[in-house]
Amino acid sequence: MKTYLDCIPCFVRQALEASKMATGDEALQEKALKAVLLELEKTPLKNKIPPQIARKVHRIIRKVTKNNDPYAKVKDEYNRKALKMYPSLKRTVAESKDKLLTATKLAIAGNIIDFGPSSKFNLDKTIEDVSDQDFAINHFNRFRKALKSSKKIIYLGDNAGEIVFDRILLEELKGKDITFVVKGGPIINDATIEDAKFVGIDKIAKIEVVSNGDPGTGPDRLSKEFIRKLKGADLVISKGQGNYEALSEVDANIFFLLKVKCPLIARDMKTKIGDIVVSS
């Protein structure tokens, strides 16, 4: 997905929020924000995807504030909060008539834990709403069929906390060889290997947890090697907006599972903010 002019205010908002999370020193916050503004001024939008620019923005914040993980506190908070919800989420799946559908919806509900588009969200209400919500793009039957015939699956994780909801879905995919991919380093509240291990994804049978080798969903996601791996999988499950922005034009067997939280994503997918999507 291309970068729009409308993305720029969002990058600036992220920079301000991240700098405040990184340090209480207002002089450093100002320095970081001004450095981001200078970077945005000289960065051409043409042929850039939003995650590539966001990657630069958050690298500047980390460098100026000397805080390698500004979102560490909220990541830990939501990992722990989601783990407390895990038993009730498992019961919800166990008691449902269609376990795969319920687990998929819960995985998408968890996508609300995203400090990129907004730091204001209601997790409990989202879970409640999504359970009764229809897919705005509904390729779920296609997804179910693809899962049955697939042995080698790549699952692209998104955010800390959200990955507990991914664990619910992963545990329904019994017997599949799954590579669960997380970020190679801190960026926003994206999940890393440490987060995946903390919530127990590495303990699920036949699941390998790996990193993409670099913070964010930037250029590495478009590297020939990474695309080759995606194309080599029987099925790719892609969580969240950042992965959609990076991979929406990649020719592979990808299913995008996400909650629409950005007007530009909504425009690109021809959906509305708040919609839930299973799209191939």
pLDDT > 70 fraction of the chain, expressed in percent and rounded: 96
pLDDT value at residue 219: 41
Q: What is the pLDDT of residues 108-166, one digit of tens each?
A: 999 999 888 877 788 889 998 898 999 999 999 999 999 999 989 999 999 999 999 99
pLDDT value at residue 220: 57
Q: Which residue in the block uniquely carries the two structure tokens 């209601």?
A: 122
- In angstroms, the CA 103 to CA 56 distance is 34
115 in any annotated domain: yes
Give the structural domain span for 61. Answer: 7-65
2 in any annotated domain: no
Residues 117 and 233 in one domain: yes
Single-letter amino acid code for the residue at 250 = V
Residues 37 and 103 in one domain: no
- In angstroms, the CA 237 to CA 280 distance is 10
Residues 26 and 161 in one domain: no
Q: Which residue in the block uniquely carries the two structure tokens 């629409």?
A: 260
Residues 87 and 217 in one domain: yes
Q: What is the pLDDT of residues 243-253, one digit of tens each?
A: 999 888 888 89
- In angstroms, the CA 78 to CA 82 distance is 6
Q: What is the pLDDT of residues 175-191, one digit of tens each?
A: 889 999 998 888 899 99
- In angstroms, the CA 106 to CA 165 distance is 6
Backbone dihedral region of 161: left (phi > 0), alpha (psi from -120 to 50 degrees) or beta? left
Give the chain's mean pLDDT. 90
262 in any annotated domain: yes
Strand, helix or coil at 143? helix
pLDDT value at residue 113: 92
Residues 108 and 57 in one domain: no
pTM score of the predicted model: 0.90
Question: Which residues share a beta bridge with 236?
Answer: 154, 254
CATH number at residue 159: 3.40.50.10880
Q: Which residue in the block uniquely carries the two structure tokens 């376990």?
A: 99
Of 33, 50, 65, which closes a domain? 65
1 in any annotated domain: no
The helices-and-strands tally (H runs, E runs) of the chain is: 12, 7
Residues 61 and 78 in one domain: no
Give residue 217's pLDDT band: very low, low, confident or very high (50, 70, 90). Answer: very low
Q: What is the pLDDT of residues 35-93, one digit of tens each?
A: 999 999 999 888 888 888 988 999 999 999 999 999 999 999 999 999 999 999 999 99
Of 65, 80, 105, which closes a domain? 65
Residues 50 and 155 in one domain: no
Give residue 95's pLDDT band: very low, low, confident or very high (50, 70, 90). Answer: very high
Nearest CA-CA partner of 57 in 22, 29, 33 = 33
266 in any annotated domain: yes
Residues 20 and 132 in one domain: no
Residues 103 and 163 in one domain: yes
pLDDT value at residue 75: 95
265 in any annotated domain: yes
171 in any annotated domain: yes
Residues 102 and 233 in one domain: yes
Is 168 in contact with 103 (CB distance < 8 Å)? yes
pLDDT value at residue 230: 86
Residues 51 and 80 in one domain: no
29 in any annotated domain: yes
Residues 113 and 137 in one domain: yes
| Count of domains for the chain | 2
